[in-house]
Structure 1
């Protein structure tokens, strides 16, 4: 014992120097702290009478002027030991059903005693016993239940002191308090500290919702749902909720409180909008500055009233600016290009001041003036398109009389003009109209009243016509337009001959004998435009036996026919050229498999394989970390290149962070070394919250074979597929879609960089404590663990068949579209809680099924909108699949509208549960309940079924949902899986019975 006492004195100095008792800054409620108590704890030792070999002893020490106690025992050479040390009664908080026991202790190496005594041990046992009251010094071993056997990670030799820290969990506490007991079975052990505590999520405010302090749940309630209350002046459509993890951390808030109208979010509270700002609705947005021509005089405003002289139209938003009436139109002009028809064109420029609006319209008023007397033009005047509500700055006015003065007033109006006219008298308003006075002096064209034949001959006709009375003022002689043609309905081309005449008679020569002609006469106005016209009249020439052809008609007919033929030839040549061009052009699908050069995307990242020396690439894109900054803590897996550790990274000037450390195993090949470094070179070029972050690499070491490492951020929950299987049924569809949205965002980032992942699967997605998903594993040549059929070998390497698009399997052509196909499989994995795609089908069966248009069915309880997106990702033509940007947008819409996730896709248990859901491996029905449970991965409930007396499959087929609950199946996902499997078994049994008959 003297030697052990010397060891203890050295140990306490070691503890003091290294600060081993520094408390971690976590939310922990301590129930017992051996070191903090300082004085004698009064713990009970048993048996009471130890004779010459005493059991547990309490030793007092003084550190920095304060007393310090330890418990130790070291009977390594006597007979077998059974020494107990029991704590005092530890009262627990009613809701703390799960506590942590943290031990700091030293165990001496049995070999250090010399000769290794036969009874020496290097372990001890931890026990617990619950009670509703303190039993004092009463001690019965039978009342204690074993928690764990404690084995040290480090044992203390003769010359070195190694302190161990171990934490164990005590679950399912239900009584007022409990005791801890430590059983020594022959070890040399000393307790430096025993601390008992439970974890809780601290009271917090998230998304404007207040959540109370909550004790963390136990193993049966990994995530405890906690309802919250919106802070003052905030509201929510649904009750805000959040989840408390077993580690006392808040994760996955659901539902969001929003500040009321007139309030905005500031420092986790809703505060009134300041004067000059407003907010018109319940939202998460900020208060906005009052818009133009408004004023905000008080705080908490829902809107800003208009300033004097400014208004809002009935269709304007209360949050928009105010505007004033427009000024008058500018520069009104009347154009008289068609006065012979009593028409003119009014045009003007828009107002100089529109009042800040774009809904300007115009009204036109007309007055006719004779002398000093003016009166409205009346309904006789016609406006084209209209005289009111004009959007354009012009209007055609017709049916005007000659030799009169007209006054036109054009008024500009907007949506607020009506309010301006009510608010102020017209004399006090700025003018919104302008007036133009114009005089019209034109001659009405005379009208043809009759046409008659004066004389006819075999080759000529003489005609005359009468006109309406001439006006009093005539500025120029009247001219006439005579049009005639031969009446012959069998000709495809009709030839017209036009003559301009100064007289009201004409002799037409060079006509064909014995032929009918059609004539039309029209008077021309003073500006040359057509006026009134006569009816078309028919006259015939005489017959005299001499048939003189009309040269003019022949020339005109020939010219028209030639032009028509030329036009047809040009059209034919154009169409032939266009057809040839259409055959030579190729779309993206035509060139997809044409040549590798055409398929290669324009990368915005640098391919590390372009470097002859991978060390150059890795140093260009990754940070070199000194080995002393890295601490390996525990092996968490094995990759293709070596072991993967959990560890910590401590760089000067930065907070220590948890990391994952990939190592390169000794004896690597040159190709393995290049692949190992190239993965880091690729990862180092990505910076996105949904892409695994590269912290750095370790390459510059003396022993490169042993110490080459890739250091990434540590993702506490590991691979997504395994995490979902471990938490089957514990997440809502909304939470699962949120995970998918993160994965899609990461893939959109890679796609935008023209990077193709090629191995997108749930096993390559990592999850942290906040349920945030990140894309990882950027090496396609990776060997899939425990899955000999996970890849399909072709001449170019391995392809993960179940996740790969058919064109990538057939032609080894990978694009972002093939990644989209893989994302659809990931969606199915997530919604099926980590189920294996295509179940137990072989790779060849999977390829055959896909080529025959088979697609994975909807997982149970999968929202219809999510399953439809999966089917879009699995379209055979890659050009028709959505892009990752489209996928992110759609998932965002679903998350913004949770009601869209309520419609559930059809689910067929006979297809979806195939493990094998309906029969044993030999095709016969399951021989036992345990075989059936193992086939659907629910074998953890075998004892539940056995204890309930359900021992054969006939009894299973009679079970209902309530029966499944009663035997202890509580998790919703497990309950549904078992229930749906029974449903599938019933269906299959009925089918088999029919075939048997």
Structure 2
């Protein structure tokens, strides 16, 4: 009896201290609350009557005028105790299949009882029994099912009160109600409070959809799908849905509602757009102000019409701004050209007012006038590039006749010009006219010596076309200089002339001079220029010579001069070409940056003392500057931590810290640090960056930059179907750039795989893990031969497997496998085939098929990487160039390679009774890594493979498969199952 009294005393102390905390506000729906009941609960004890100390007893106390009850039992000195306490019938809400039982209790320390420690217990059991009706006082132990054994976290001694709170879950309830029972097997216990509740997701409005209060599901239905209803003036293409979690929280809204056209969202309601604003389509966007040159005269507008005098072109968005007509072009100028006769260039400036458009084009109209009669120029006149649809502000006009008057009109057009024609818009607002008298630009056709003396030379020249009587006069400009220039300077003398002949005086005897003549029209136009001609004065004391002998000498001298010039030009061109000549592959793939020489990698294993290599290529870090935070993985030599590096004078940065496990050998330490010696030689944004090493202290460490998203294969598996092909190709481009850098340094990685690519928070991929990497030797084949060591078969080129010959070409093969992993979102290459099967299949020309939704151009590059002849595989420079080309033209990624689900999903050889290759739906889902949807199929009544084969895409969506990647994987698998004969024959390798 003193045991019970002790418990009662402690119990009263509990109520006295915690009385004001009895009522606890919660979000749960409570269906039994022992504290809130206040009065005696009438719970059933069993055995019904075995004496004063036989079983559970009710303890009653009064606090602040209220009575509180608890149940206790303390038969610690008696053997084989089996005391039961059963609650009254607890009604269950139909949807609540999962309830929580929260128990507050006290357990006495068995060591506090003298002589009872051998029979004393410190635990009790929780049971439950379901029923469709209250069975009254009928009690049978066999009807109860054990939920759990409850043990205290803290045990109460004689004078030290320790209250425990434990919560247990009772699942899979299906009948109208249930009982809870507590079994004592020999402990000293006081149950202070029992609270039974279930969780609900409260009624809510999310994304303009209203959802009712929903009972949370059980573990077998972790997410309960709930349909919603759009609020007023909101619509949705798909039924709005949301999921209620087991914890009573709303998550993952699907198919959100959007305000109708003319309405916008304001505090979970849809309100009309104000006057002067519009909204064209149902969306989550706000109403927009009417664009330029438009107006809206009422609220709730779906669009804004154009104001008078402004228009929208047929290709303009219906809710874009309206634009006016362009003004006339400015500053129209006609310039004669020296290229040939009958040509001129028309140029002008863009209009001052484009009407708010950027699709301005120009047209040119020509009229020719003769004897005051004007007519269209006709088809004889040619325009380059064209006379209409011009986007540039100039045009070359050819086939003009000399000494005629031409009138050119240039008109500006835009996408709305045709719309304005019915309104008779004056053409003067968009046209500009110029008139000119065209004359072929004069050109010097020949120059000759008329007479020479020791101090003078007389020259004449011909001009074409010859001037007509009414044509503007032609002026000439003569430039001449001494041929020899010993002072390093060239001095020209310029004469302005009105005629095509001249006598040049005050020359030096016996000296060669070089002459050039250029013609100019009277209006300032430049004509053709002659070639530079050489003429020589007579030696001092010689008589003047007429032009006959001089012409002959000049002709000979000119020919010699032309020959010398031609030879010099030929030699200079040949020299220039010799420096720029490339092979056909260089012409296509190489750039100036690629042709720069790179440093060559130095193998740290060639150092007699590996510590010297580490000190040469890596920065030593003091361990006090490195702080470990959390273990993120385990490497070959020890654990890998996430941490912080705070070096003096530098900002604090997040880092990954590789450690060397205790008990290492000296060889293990050298192998561990050799990776740092390798990484320390690289500096590229797509190669993992080495921050430094710790070598001079007991615990060696390698510190690298921290990559938040971890290994690429795991990251892609966790985000299956979430990235576009463009994003995936961008990742591959980064990996290829890093590998190009390594190959340019004469370096072979040997273990290139998605697991050895790290991803940061900007999705930038970096090559890491240089444990198997080796340098290329200077042998003719550029190979590295190893006599031992593990080879990653699924990623390794066939020649490397067969002969252990590793080259950059074998790394290219591995890169092709990485491409497949990325496009397949981390799927295992060759699925569950054994290494032997993989080697046999490759030797028989089998290649991995295109993953789902893989662009054809990307898959073709994979196949090029997997060519049997390694010399025909692309180089990493080629791969980077091709991936850059694809990224610059995203449309090139829209063509999808053929996908064969029979190959992509390898089927087992066993067969179910319904003829499918699987014995059950769950076995099939597990084979395609979609076992998380087993419950969805079961709840939908899809329990046989025959039913699976009848499913369509809409059926798969309806059972709750929403992620695009998962939906495609299941759909393509079903497609493959329908042709099991072809499937199995593909894998008869």
TM-score (norm 2): 0.57
Partner of 1:727: none
1:273-284 correspondence to structure 2 within 5 Å: 273-284=273-284
Cα distance, 1:740 vs structure 2: 10
| Contact 1:31 1:197 survives alignment (8 Å) | yes
Q: Does 1:865 align with 2:839?
A: no
1:596-675 correspondence to structure 2 within 5 Å: 610=619, 612-618=621-627
> Residues 481-513 of structure 1: CA distance to partner in whole angstroms, max 9, x if unpaired?
xxxxxxxxxxxxxxxxxxxx999xxxxxxxxxx
**What is the distance in 1 between the residues matched to 2:187 and 2:725?**
54
| Contact 2:735 2:765 survives alignment (8 Å) | no
> Residues 148-180 of structure 1: CA distance to partner in whole angstroms, max 9, x if unpaired?
233334333334333333332222222211111
**What is the distance in 1 between the residues matched to 2:144 and 2:87?**
12
Gaps spanning 5+ residues in structure 1: where? 446-467, 480-500, 504-523, 531-548, 598-607, 624-634, 645-661, 677-704, 706-711, 725-732, 767-772, 782-793, 919-928, 945-958
> Residues 867-886 of structure 1: CA distance to partner in whole angstroms, max 9, x if unpaired?
99899789567948999x99
Secondary structure of 1:737 counterpart: coil
| Contact 1:743 1:775 survives alignment (8 Å) | no
Partner of 2:580: 578
**What is the distance in 2 between the residues matched to 1:824 and 1:722?**
14
Secondary structure of 2:112 counterpart: helix
1:684-723 correspondence to structure 2 within 5 Å: none
**What is the distance in 2 between the residues matched to 1:991 and 1:817?**
23
**What is the distance in 2 between the residues matched to 1:380 and 1:560?**
41
Alpha-carbon distance change, 312 to 46 in structure 1, aligned in 2, over 3 angstroms: same
Partner of 2:937: none
Secondary structure of 1:93 counterpart: coil
Alpha-carbon distance change, 120 to 263 in structure 1, aligned in 2, over 3 angstroms: same
Alpha-carbon distance change, 281 to 643 in structure 1, aligned in 2, over 3 angstroms: same
**What is the distance in 2 between the residues matched to 1:443 and 1:982?**
81
**What is the distance in 1 between the residues matched to 2:205 and 2:843?**
53
Secondary structure of 1:101 counterpart: strand
Cα distance, 1:908 vs structure 2: 4.3
Q: Does 1:175 align with 2:175?
A: yes
**What is the distance in 2 between the residues matched to 1:207 and 1:165?**
39
**Count of residues in Structure 1 that have an aligned counterpart in Structure 2:** 756
> Residues 78-104 of structure 1: CA distance to partner in whole angstroms, max 9, x if unpaired?
242222211111111112222222222
| Contact 1:760 1:826 survives alignment (8 Å) | no
**What is the distance in 1 between the residues matched to 2:635 and 2:980?**
40
Partner of 1:464: none
Cα RMSD, aligned residues only = 7.1
Alpha-carbon distance change, 310 to 25 in structure 1, aligned in 2, over 3 angstroms: farther
Alpha-carbon distance change, 230 to 810 in structure 1, aligned in 2, over 3 angstroms: farther
Q: Does 1:907 align with 2:934?
A: no
**What is the distance in 1 between the residues matched to 2:726 and 2:291?**
37
**What is the distance in 1 between the residues matched to 2:595 and 2:403?**
70
1:734-883 correspondence to structure 2 within 5 Å: 736-738=720-722, 801=792, 825=821, 839=832, 841=834, 863-865=852-854, 879=876
Secondary structure of 1:615 counterpart: helix
Cα distance, 1:128 vs structure 2: 1.7
**What is the distance in 2 between the residues matched to 1:320 and 1:402?**
50
Alpha-carbon distance change, 150 to 336 in structure 1, aligned in 2, over 3 angstroms: closer
| Contact 1:742 1:774 survives alignment (8 Å) | no
Alpha-carbon distance change, 577 to 846 in structure 1, aligned in 2, over 3 angstroms: same
| Contact 2:736 2:879 survives alignment (8 Å) | no
Alpha-carbon distance change, 913 to 128 in structure 1, aligned in 2, over 3 angstroms: same
Alpha-carbon distance change, 89 to 811 in structure 1, aligned in 2, over 3 angstroms: farther
Cα distance, 1:318 vs structure 2: 2.1
> Residues 432-451 of structure 1: CA distance to partner in whole angstroms, max 9, x if unpaired?
44454556799999xxxxxx
Cα distance, 1:848 vs structure 2: 9.4
Secondary structure of 2:72 counterpart: strand
1:946-965 correspondence to structure 2 within 5 Å: 961=946
**What is the distance in 2 between the residues matched to 1:611 and 1:798?**
30
350-359 or 207-216: bigger deviation:
207-216
> Residues 756-793 of structure 1: CA distance to partner in whole angstroms, max 9, x if unpaired?
99999899999xxxxxx9999x9999xxxxxxxxxxxx
**What is the distance in 2 between the residues matched to 1:643 and 1:441?**
88
Partner of 1:46: 46
Partner of 1:384: 383
**What is the distance in 2 between the residues matched to 1:594 and 1:330?**
63
207-216 or 333-342: bigger deviation:
333-342
Partner of 2:34: 34
Cα distance, 1:217 vs structure 2: 2.5
Cα distance, 1:425 vs structure 2: 6.9
| Contact 2:902 2:977 survives alignment (8 Å) | no
Cα distance, 1:420 vs structure 2: 4.3
Partner of 1:193: 193
**What is the distance in 2 between the residues matched to 1:978 and 1:329?**
64
552-561 or 979-988: bigger deviation:
979-988
**What is the distance in 1 between the residues matched to 2:711 and 2:197?**
30
Cα distance, 1:353 vs structure 2: 1.9
Alpha-carbon distance change, 218 to 344 in structure 1, aligned in 2, over 3 angstroms: closer
Cα distance, 1:129 vs structure 2: 1.8
Partner of 1:99: 99
Alpha-carbon distance change, 2 to 60 in structure 1, aligned in 2, over 3 angstroms: same
| Contact 2:949 2:977 survives alignment (8 Å) | no
Secondary structure of 2:29 counterpart: strand
Secondary structure of 2:162 counterpart: coil
Cα distance, 1:826 vs structure 2: 8.0
Alpha-carbon distance change, 759 to 291 in structure 1, aligned in 2, over 3 angstroms: same
1:254-273 correspondence to structure 2 within 5 Å: 254-273=254-273
227-236 or 67-76: bigger deviation:
227-236
Secondary structure of 1:35 counterpart: helix
**What is the distance in 2 between the residues matched to 1:22 and 1:762?**
55
Alpha-carbon distance change, 592 to 157 in structure 1, aligned in 2, over 3 angstroms: farther
| Contact 2:901 2:973 survives alignment (8 Å) | no
Cα distance, 1:476 vs structure 2: 7.6
> Residues 737-765 of structure 1: CA distance to partner in whole angstroms, max 9, x if unpaired?
23999998998999999999999989999
**What is the distance in 1 between the residues matched to 2:130 and 2:268?**
42
Secondary structure of 1:142 counterpart: helix
| Contact 1:361 1:413 survives alignment (8 Å) | yes
1:432-471 correspondence to structure 2 within 5 Å: 432-436=430-434
Secondary structure of 1:907 counterpart: helix
1:968-979 correspondence to structure 2 within 5 Å: none
Cα distance, 1:317 vs structure 2: 1.7
Gaps spanning 5+ residues in structure 2: where? 444-464, 477-498, 502-519, 529-550, 605-616, 641-656, 673-698, 700-705, 743-748, 772-784, 867-873, 912-918, 935-943, 951-958
**What is the distance in 2 between the residues matched to 1:412 and 1:145?**
90
Partner of 1:693: none
Cα distance, 1:59 vs structure 2: 1.4
Secondary structure of 1:183 counterpart: strand
1:912-927 correspondence to structure 2 within 5 Å: 913=908
**What is the distance in 1 between the residues matched to 2:338 and 2:723?**
72
Alpha-carbon distance change, 525 to 29 in structure 1, aligned in 2, over 3 angstroms: closer
Partner of 2:160: 160
